[in-house]
Structure 1
Amino acid sequence: MESGATRENERASGTSVRIYLPDERLRSFATFYYFVECFDELEDFLYPEWGNVRFSIAGSWWVQSREVRGHMPVDGALFGATDRAARVVSRGGKTAGFGLTPLGWQRLFDVPADALANRIAPLCDRMGRPAHTITTELVAHRSDEQGVALFDALLFELLATRPPNTPDAIAVDAALRDRPRTVAAFAEAAGTDRRALDRVCKRVFGFGPKRLLKRQRFLDTLGRVRYEEHPRFDDLRDPEYYDQSHFNHEFHEFMGLSPREYLSAPRPLMGQAALVQLQAGIPLSFKLPPPPEELG
């Protein structure tokens, strides 16, 4: 998948990020697989995101947020959905994993999304196999192709044992794609009342409907900012922001720093990840993927 020259360039930059799409039948549940190597010391953001399964293959990986401060569990970690940025620090090492969609979270795990929102838990045997055996396989694999095949197999095996997504979750997922402006409009689009909408949003997405709409508005803008070399926020920010001051306030709320501070901060991991995502044809918009189809 890579040339020797590519790997040498990555070593010179200090970080290697490789990203692959899962099997087409899995793309409603998992966003993409990633394999990251850090050759030197690294510190960067982890953007607000949906759930994630991560394996620490070598070295140390330290995650810090308002709620979490500590080393990533050695034998696999389940990251809940987040509505704020965290920091990741490594002194050199390798990690691999995959992102989950909200409907993927519901299909794969029995834990309500809000119970792990902005938190990390040991993976244990939640993937149908003990996490330490998966980590051992990843350590033994000498190619990304083998890791991709392992993740595909794990997801197919686990999905075969789990019930389908609930109709209310699918309806809320579909409604959120159109970015309703208010909670009332959100409930109407999902065909439910506000109390039921609140329960589904927390259980499947990790946050209440008002917070979820606010989060998606910010992430849509952040997705556009990420791939502009010299972004002009006036041109890129979502039209629902009243003005630059409104956007600045929410940027600080979600990222913990101002837009200007963000642009001046080094992003060795996420900067390269954005380029690799674009090369792989994966949007940076944080938009939800297509709804699920039953596996044949």
Structure 2
Amino acid sequence: MRTDRIAGGTNTSGVDDEVFAMPSGMAIRYDRPAAALADYITGYHVYRTDTGSEAGQVDWFLPATANVRIAIDAGPIAVSIGRRTYDPLPAASLFGPTNQALKAVTHGGVMIGFGISALGWARLFRRSAGDFRNRIVPLEDVLGKAFTRDLVAALQGAPDDAAVAPILDAMLLARLGPPHADAPQIRQLMEILATDGPTDIASAAAQLDMPTHALRRLSVRHFGFPPKMLLLRARFLRSFVRLMMAGGEADYTTIDRSYFDASHFLRDSATFLGMTPRRFMALTKPFLKASLRARNAVLGSPTQVLHDIEKAPARDAQPRDSTRATQQRVISRDGSAIGC
């Protein structure tokens, strides 16, 4: 897939093109997975940038659930999570679940990715998600060389970004393992994390009707972190994303009511962002700003951590040629460079 074939947009009807508007030389795409994958894959995304300067382009991203990312026709990429830097980033990578902000320095190209829910982790991976928290590993280390090779080859051969979702649908549906015995409890915990509510472990354990030690084991195995960390991360991101999407100065009157005061919220900001909210909002992050807007419009929530599988829209699996009508939508402002 050539960089100039990335138009941006979505496979979802009824979403305004302006949602995907980007500066010249950049494009963003969000797609819904097939309905059969909706519980396991939180969405597909495609980022394109033509920036090839020596210094590279810097972007910051929020803590997230697990992701797979594949770089196509891209220059060197360096990613930092906390104090750990991955340079160069493997061309096909598994990003484990994170509770820290992520910094990426790129030098042009295409990044294709998909988010993995805890239910998806249980059906795709044998190892505990806790083994990969705040880590990035080559995708072949966890999904095997053959699958990784075929996945990369299929995406490289895609004619344009509208073909990405059908390719990923087919390959991921074939890759899913059997449902996990913990699936009902995983789903319940996902629902708790996606909604406002108490942030104490005892309340969550009571809702799940399980002992706290069993909840911790379930949480680390499939979500990557102990339940208290998951609850605090979700609460913080609900409040912080609200601030970001409102724009302007940080208005702490809009934060979650369970925060005692602004200083309580600022302590969480230091934990999850490594800095104050104002400092983070002042950073260069064109793709984060665009993804909050686009993801919310297409997938029903602005971030993966807040993804609600009970409310997230899905689409029916379609024949490959049914995507042709959407392939003509040119969303990037850099229209002259797009050949779709």
Match of 2:63 among 34, 48, 58: 48
Question: Structure 1, residues 26-80: CA drift from partner, whole Å, max 9, x if none?
Answer: 1111111011112113111121000001111122221112353123543411111
- Cα distance, 1:259 vs structure 2: 1.3
Return the alpha-carbon distance in structure 2 between the equivalents of residues 145 and 258 of structure 1: 38
Pairing 1:39-188 to 2, within 5 Å after superposition: 39-40=50-51, 41-57=56-72, 58-66=74-82, 68-71=84-87, 73-124=89-140, 126-127=142-143, 129-159=146-176, 161-164=177-180, 166=182, 167-178=184-195, 179-188=197-206
Question: Structure 1, residues 120-171: CA drift from partner, whole Å, max 9, x if none?
Answer: 1111174574312311221221212221111101121112x43345233334
Correspondence 1:227 to 2:245? yes
Task: Confirm or deny: 8 A CA contact 1:28 1:289 kept in the other structure.
Answer: no
Return the alpha-carbon distance in structure 1 between the equivalents of residues 280 and 271 of structure 2: 13
Return the alpha-carbon distance in structure 2 between the equivalents of residues 53 and 143 of structure 1: 19
Task: Confirm or deny: 8 A CA contact 1:127 1:158 kept in the other structure.
Answer: no
CA 141–114 in structure 1, closer or farther in 2 if over 3 Å, else same: same
Which contiguous aligned blocks of 4+ residues in structure 1 show a shift greater than 6 angstroms?
3-6
CA 164–235 in structure 1, closer or farther in 2 if over 3 Å, else same: same
Aligned to 1:267: 285
Task: Confirm or deny: 8 A CA contact 2:250 2:277 kept in the other structure.
Answer: no
CA 180–107 in structure 1, closer or farther in 2 if over 3 Å, else same: farther
Pairing 1:23-42 to 2, within 5 Å after superposition: 23-40=34-51, 41-42=56-57
CA 61–162 in structure 1, closer or farther in 2 if over 3 Å, else same: farther
Return the alpha-carbon distance in structure 1 between the equivalents of residues 248 and 198 of structure 2: 30
- Cα distance, 1:281 vs structure 2: 5.2
CA 149–264 in structure 1, closer or farther in 2 if over 3 Å, else same: same
Task: Confirm or deny: 8 A CA contact 1:56 1:94 kept in the other structure.
Answer: yes
Range with greater deviation from structure 2 (259-268 or 113-122):
259-268
- The one-letter amino acid paired with 1:189 is Q
- The one-letter amino acid paired with 1:287 is L
Match of 1:290 among 309, 313, 331: 309
Range with greater deviation from structure 2 (110-119 or 167-176):
167-176
Q: TM-score, normalised by structure 2?
A: 0.77
Task: Confirm or deny: 8 A CA contact 2:98 2:134 kept in the other structure.
Answer: yes
Identity across matched positions, percent: 28
Aligned to 2:323: none
Name structure 1 gaps, 5 residues minimum.
none
C-alpha RMSD over aligned residues: 2.7
Return the alpha-carbon distance in structure 1 between the equivalents of residues 191 and 29 of structure 2: 30
Q: TM-score, normalised by structure 1?
A: 0.88
Return the alpha-carbon distance in structure 2 between the equivalents of residues 165 and 224 of structure 1: 36
Return the alpha-carbon distance in structure 2 between the equivalents of residues 118 and 158 of structure 1: 24
- Cα distance, 1:255 vs structure 2: 0.5
Return the alpha-carbon distance in structure 2 between the equivalents of residues 249 and 151 of structure 1: 39
Question: Structure 1, residues 95-133: CA drift from partner, whole Å, max 9, x if none?
Answer: 101011111111211110101011011111745743123
- The one-letter amino acid paired with 1:74 is P
Task: Confirm or deny: 8 A CA contact 1:79 1:120 kept in the other structure.
Answer: yes
Is the partner of 1:263 in helix, strand or coil? helix
Match of 1:253 among 271, 283, 292: 271
Return the alpha-carbon distance in structure 1 between the equivalents of residues 158 and 242 of structure 2: 35
Match of 1:207 among 206, 218, 225: 225
Return the alpha-carbon distance in structure 2 between the equivalents of residues 11 and 264 of structure 1: 18
Question: Structure 1, residues 238-272: CA drift from partner, whole Å, max 9, x if none?
Answer: 11111111111211221111111122222111112
Is the partner of 1:84 in helix, strand or coil? coil
Return the alpha-carbon distance in structure 2 between the equivalents of residues 203 and 185 of structure 1: 20
Return the alpha-carbon distance in structure 2 between the equivalents of residues 20 and 137 of structure 1: 17
Is the partner of 1:211 in helix, strand or coil? helix
Task: Confirm or deny: 8 A CA contact 1:54 1:78 kept in the other structure.
Answer: yes
Task: Confirm or deny: 8 A CA contact 1:224 1:284 kept in the other structure.
Answer: no
- Cα distance, 1:18 vs structure 2: 0.9
- Cα distance, 1:280 vs structure 2: 2.5
CA 227–80 in structure 1, closer or farther in 2 if over 3 Å, else same: same
Return the alpha-carbon distance in structure 2 between the equivalents of residues 76 and 241 of structure 1: 39
CA 71–175 in structure 1, closer or farther in 2 if over 3 Å, else same: same
